[in-house]
Chains A and B, each alone.
Chain A
Amino acid sequence: MTTTSFSSTGAEPFAADASIEPLLSISLRVNGAQHSAMAPARRLLSDFLRGELGLTGTHVGCEHGVCGACTVLFDGEPVRSCLMFAVSAQGHDVTTVEGLGNDPSHLSPVQQAFAECHALQCGFCTPGFLTTITAFLEQHPDPTPDEARECVSGNLCRCTGYQNIVKAVLRAAELRREAGAGEAWAAGASEAAKATRAAEEGTR
């Protein structure tokens, strides 16, 4: 039963090895930029974004679609990236938290509202809330407190008790309105986010 062994493979980080399992070329638009990478058919979108593309802002909390930490925008709609294969995103448009704003000194309205309202503690679930709320406010720019609570009721947070997250939804709506309808993300979004938005509008 003694089992230790050493193998001699010395592959590069994240260069998936076609000798181990068949690889597919996956091309998709992420945060406004075109990306292509090789990955096995079974690679989850969440793992692909984090691993192959190095976008570690998308977090994985349960891998069964309940917690919502891995939520990204898929052609503008919030989806659980742990419940999708990367290959299913072929040719689609994905926005991650980095696409909402990747520069700590330049926050998007939702990110800014979270900072103002102390709507995060450990920050692990936060990216999923940010993407969810960003999409929600696109459709509901002026939510009531009840609607704000409802909008975040599909994401789990273990730290905040949600109260300040609900507050941040309302504050983000305010910030968006201050920034001007339709120009919401321009208030502080990164170039990538702007590009994503342009791409999204292009697809509508």
Chain B
Amino acid sequence: MTTRQLGAPIRRREDPRLLTGNGRYLDDLGAGALHAAFVRSTSAHARIVDIDITDAWEVEGVEAIYTYEDLEGPMAQPLPVLIPHPALTHARTGYALVNGEVNHVGEPVVMVVARDRYLAEDAAARIRVDYEALPVVVGVEAARSASVLVHDDAPGNVAAHLVQEVGDVEAALAAAPHTLTIPLTIERSACMPMEGKGVLARWDRDEQSMRMWSSTQTSTGVRAAVAARLELPLARIHCIAPDVGGGFGVKIVHPWAEELLVPWAARALGRDVKWTEDRREHFISSAHERAQLQEVTVGFDDDGVVLGLDVKVWHDNGAYTPYGIIVPIITSTQLLGPYKPGAYRCEFWSLYTNTVIVTPYRGAGRPQGVFAMERTMDAIAAHLGKDRADVREANFILPEEMPYDHGLMFQDGRPLKYDSGDFPASLAKLKALVGWDDFTAYRKQAEAAGRKVGLGIGCYVEGTGVGPYEAGHVQVETSGRVNVATGLTTQGQGHETAFAQIVADELGVRIEDVHVTTGDTRRMGYAVGTFASRAAVMSGNAIAFAAKAVREKALRIAADALEANPDDLEIEDGVISVKGAPGTSISLSSVAVLSNPLRYAFDEAAKAATQFAGTFDPDKPPVADGEEPGLEGKGVYSPTQATFANGMHAAIVETDPVTAEITILRYCVIHDCGVMINPLIVEGQVHGGVAQGVGGALYERMAYDESGQLLNASFMDFLMPYASEVPHVETDHLETPSPLNPLGIKGAGEAGCIPVSAVIASAIEDAEGFPILSMPISPSELWELRRQHATKGQS
């Protein structure tokens, strides 16, 4: 009896390939391709007066140099606003190559194509661009004050303004026994996948067709966008996401300028063209996230129960809004976490600045929202002198209140309605794991030794698995090999393993026989992409449906062959047999042969499917009515709403009494993503998320100067945590199945990073005894806060 694969912590099937140098990442492909390099704007806000490329042509090996003036038709149009929204009244996007005005440092101005990247960069270095400087807007405060505009026709620097309100907030606040107003700040960080973006394009002159590879989170999206801009029939272009070295959100944005220019140049030159982003390019011309100013006003009763919550968010969206206002919408809705907010109003302004665009980075607005809510919970507890966990518990949505409808619209345009979750159980587990009730004694001990320690907590709910849909295809070859395809892409989540586990169970085959392909439009043309912790939920269920369809078909054919009732059959390890009569059986590979009636025999197995083989009933058509040839099936999963995962984290930190150095002593996670397909993979996702959260809480920030230059655009200066900075993460899981999908799963990809800034702020505040209102926080900032509070205490 085969053991059930779903839920088993099996080792990843992609690993042996990736561990032995046999991965195929974008830059590993296209030997012999021409290489592109870009001249990027050195000014944050300016008009281009002149571009002088004369000297660049003197570099041997240069094949082409392009500026905006070389672009025609759709290629010359602004890049698309991918996610329009009625509140996004002043959407602005850049061009594939700058058309006159630059709005941040790093915009592509000139494209050079040469024999290799060294030569392309030699040539790019010889191109002179003259700028007429314009005043620059950096930071949310400057954007909000609007004394300078990023786009002349976007008044107040406002791209979007959205208010969502449930209940009468004014009245609730006025009636509340206690009110607090809390100003909060979060700075910029970025996804920073270890592999940057990259594009390779191959134009087939004979077929007049394009094949392209992109290090993307959506190959179907890139394909459609490139087809539109290059005016190619969709049938003449395919896009493949090869092995992708991490994404974390930045690679869902598309089409990047380079994703259009590289195939466009490949067609123009009739040569393979490749561009591989370098690290500096990734810093200054991809995307960032997180920066917001917030103001929370909360009204609550003597028990800490929130009666009214009024939140204002000023969101820095950078120079353009190609990905719409997804991030601030998520902040304003997911802020609510596991709590009932009473009357709630959230108002946000999405503001332009002359900096790199802001698009979703793992968590996608949730870390900021959770920061606002959890800082508020701690403030309530401090105000009332209550235990911080008790205040949270007093505001929880209870399991019996599920499904719980907040009455708001979520990022997918659908109701913010939680499907399941057991928040009191999660909190109980967290308190047990971290030793919540023993901390007072621990603190006393530490204080006696001259040490400062603090305990922090943070809770979140995460909408995962948003629609609109994903599709899966399962096909059994006559060899017994099972090919599985889904259109969304993979950038480290182990889809080759997790999806194979699902198919092994649903179809009844050995996992070794299952081969999964993701992100290849040749195999699956319909897909949305990998973002919003949606791959397992969306493609997992779609593939399960496809496998079920194949199973049913196999049983129909086998029932015919075995002269049995399909209901009496079972499939195990790729063999269909009559239940209770294991001798009466047929292999799935034989069924695959029978499923495709043949005229021509190319091998012994095929001979059994030919017209004179005598295996068919002469009174029936070779392919039965309503059937299709081949043992394959398709499934689509398209849910009415997102499924909501949740988690709670706690940390113990130590702050050095002299240097204000901050050390995380313990980090504990309770995580509930419903049914886990592979606990090993889920655990890994949580670890990685926490590490990114720690980076965002203590180390990472984008340091722009007032002229819009990013001062720390390298790994030397942007402090991504090493193993020495990331704590050991202690985890425990709850599995509250989602009632929304047959597998009962919820997404897990983003979870780990969501509450970390809130948790660390909570712990530092607990250690120091004064509020922490801005993250990330460095030792020197903490030291300065100590000084300010000491001065305040004296005055």
Assembled-state Cα–Cα distance A156/B721 (Å): 7
- B63 and A6 contacting across the interface, CB-CB below 8 Å: yes
**A14-B32, A158-B688, A160-B688 given as contacts; is B714 within 8 A of A62 (CB)?**
yes
- B12 and A59 contacting across the interface, CB-CB below 8 Å: no
- A162 and B21 contacting across the interface, CB-CB below 8 Å: no
- For B23, the chain A residues whose CB sits under 8 A away are 57, 123-124
**A2-B69, A118-B684, A164-B687 given as contacts; is B22 within 8 A of A57 (CB)?**
yes
- A123 and B21 contacting across the interface, CB-CB below 8 Å: no
- For B69, the chain A residues whose CB sits under 8 A away are 1-3
| B25 touches A (CB below 8 Å) | yes
Assembled-state Cα–Cα distance A185/B485 (Å): 37
Binds A, one of B189-197, B532-540, B780-788: B189-197
Assembled-state Cα–Cα distance A160/B343 (Å): 40
Main secondary structure of the interface of A (DSSP, over half): loop
Assembled-state Cα–Cα distance A76/B101 (Å): 52
- For B193, the chain A residues whose CB sits under 8 A away are 122, 124, 158
| B582 touches A (CB below 8 Å) | no
- For A50, the chain B residues whose CB sits under 8 A away are 27-28
CB nearest neighbor in B for A44: B118
Would you list which residues of chain B between 218 and 257 have a CB under 8 Å from chain A?
A: 243-246, 248
| B690 touches A (CB below 8 Å) | yes
**A101-B20, A123-B243, A126-B19 given as contacts; is B66 within 8 A of A4 (CB)?**
yes
- A123 and B18 contacting across the interface, CB-CB below 8 Å: yes
Assembled-state Cα–Cα distance A126/B25 (Å): 13
- For A166, the chain B residues whose CB sits under 8 A away are 723
- B21 and A57 contacting across the interface, CB-CB below 8 Å: yes
- For A203, the chain B residues whose CB sits under 8 A away are none
Chain B nearest CB from A52 CB (Å) reads: 10
CB nearest neighbor in B for A55: B21
Would you list which residues of chain B between 573 and 596 have a CB under 8 Å from chain A?
A: none
**A160-B684, A163-B687 given as contacts; is B194 within 8 A of A67 (CB)?**
yes
- B245 and A3 contacting across the interface, CB-CB below 8 Å: no
**A13-B31, A122-B244 given as contacts; is B15 within 8 A of A115 (CB)?**
yes
| B11 touches A (CB below 8 Å) | yes
- A160 and B279 contacting across the interface, CB-CB below 8 Å: no
- For A20, the chain B residues whose CB sits under 8 A away are 60-61, 115, 119
**A66-B714, A160-B691 given as contacts; is B61 within 8 A of A9 (CB)?**
yes
- For B19, the chain A residues whose CB sits under 8 A away are 97, 101, 104, 107, 111, 114-115, 120, 123, 126, 130
- For B62, the chain A residues whose CB sits under 8 A away are 7
| A144 touches B (CB below 8 Å) | no
Would you list which residues of chain A between 78 and 121 have a CB under 8 Å from chain B?
A: 96-98, 100-105, 107, 111, 114-116, 118, 120-121
- A159 and B18 contacting across the interface, CB-CB below 8 Å: no
Chain A nearest CB from B197 CB (Å) reads: 13
Binds A, one of B133-141, B487-495, B598-606, B627-635: B487-495
Would you list which residues of chain A between 42 and 75 have a CB under 8 Å from chain B?
A: 42-43, 50-51, 54-64, 66-67, 69
Chain B nearest CB from A153 CB (Å) reads: 4
| B268 touches A (CB below 8 Å) | yes
Binds A, one of B203-211, B349-357, B724-732: B724-732
| A150 touches B (CB below 8 Å) | yes
Among B18, B60, B723, B726, residue most surrounded by chain A Cβ atoms (within 10 Å)? B723
Chain B nearest CB from A159 CB (Å) reads: 5
- For A27, the chain B residues whose CB sits under 8 A away are none
Assembled-state Cα–Cα distance A21/B728 (Å): 51
Assembled-state Cα–Cα distance A38/B680 (Å): 46
CB nearest neighbor in B for A102: B20
| A170 touches B (CB below 8 Å) | no
Assembled-state Cα–Cα distance A150/B723 (Å): 8
- For A137, the chain B residues whose CB sits under 8 A away are none
- For B752, the chain A residues whose CB sits under 8 A away are 161
Assembled-state Cα–Cα distance A59/B238 (Å): 26
Chain A nearest CB from B596 CB (Å) reads: 31
- For B191, the chain A residues whose CB sits under 8 A away are 158
**A124-B195, A158-B192 given as contacts; is B279 within 8 A of A63 (CB)?**
yes
**A42-B118, A59-B195 given as contacts; is B729 within 8 A of A161 (CB)?**
yes
Would you list which residues of chain B between 678 and 707 have a CB under 8 Å from chain A?
A: 680-681, 683-685, 687-692
Assembled-state Cα–Cα distance A101/B193 (Å): 25
- For B687, the chain A residues whose CB sits under 8 A away are 160-164
| A181 touches B (CB below 8 Å) | no
Assembled-state Cα–Cα distance A124/B73 (Å): 38
- A60 and B27 contacting across the interface, CB-CB below 8 Å: yes
Q: 1/0 per position for B5-22, CB-CB distance to A under 8 A?
A: 000000110111111111
| A32 touches B (CB below 8 Å) | no
**A98-B21, A161-B688 given as contacts; is B245 within 8 A of A124 (CB)?**
yes
Chain A nearest CB from B32 CB (Å) reads: 3
CB nearest neighbor in A for B724: A153
CB nearest neighbor in B for A103: B20
- For A139, the chain B residues whose CB sits under 8 A away are none
- B20 and A123 contacting across the interface, CB-CB below 8 Å: no
| A125 touches B (CB below 8 Å) | yes
| A152 touches B (CB below 8 Å) | yes
- For A115, the chain B residues whose CB sits under 8 A away are 11-12, 15-16, 19
Assembled-state Cα–Cα distance A63/B27 (Å): 14
Among B194, B243, B278, B729, residue most surrounded by chain A Cβ atoms (within 10 Å)? B194
**9 A-B interface contacts by CB (under 8 A):** A2-B70, A4-B66, A59-B195, A61-B279, A115-B11, A120-B18, A122-B244, A156-B722, A162-B723
Q: Which residues of B contact A (CB under 8 A)?
A: 11-12, 14-25, 27-28, 31-32, 51, 53, 57, 60-67, 69-70, 115-116, 118-119, 191-195, 243-246, 248, 268-269, 278-279, 491-494, 680-681, 683-685, 687-692, 714-716, 720, 722-724, 726, 728-729, 752
9 new A-B contacts, CB < 8 A, other than A40-B118, A115-B19, are: A5-B57, A6-B64, A9-B115, A56-B24, A122-B194, A124-B194, A160-B691, A162-B687, A164-B687
Q: Which residues of A contact B (CB under 8 A)?
A: 1-7, 9, 11-14, 16-17, 19-21, 40, 42-43, 50-51, 54-64, 66-67, 69, 96-98, 100-105, 107, 111, 114-116, 118, 120-127, 130, 149-150, 152-166
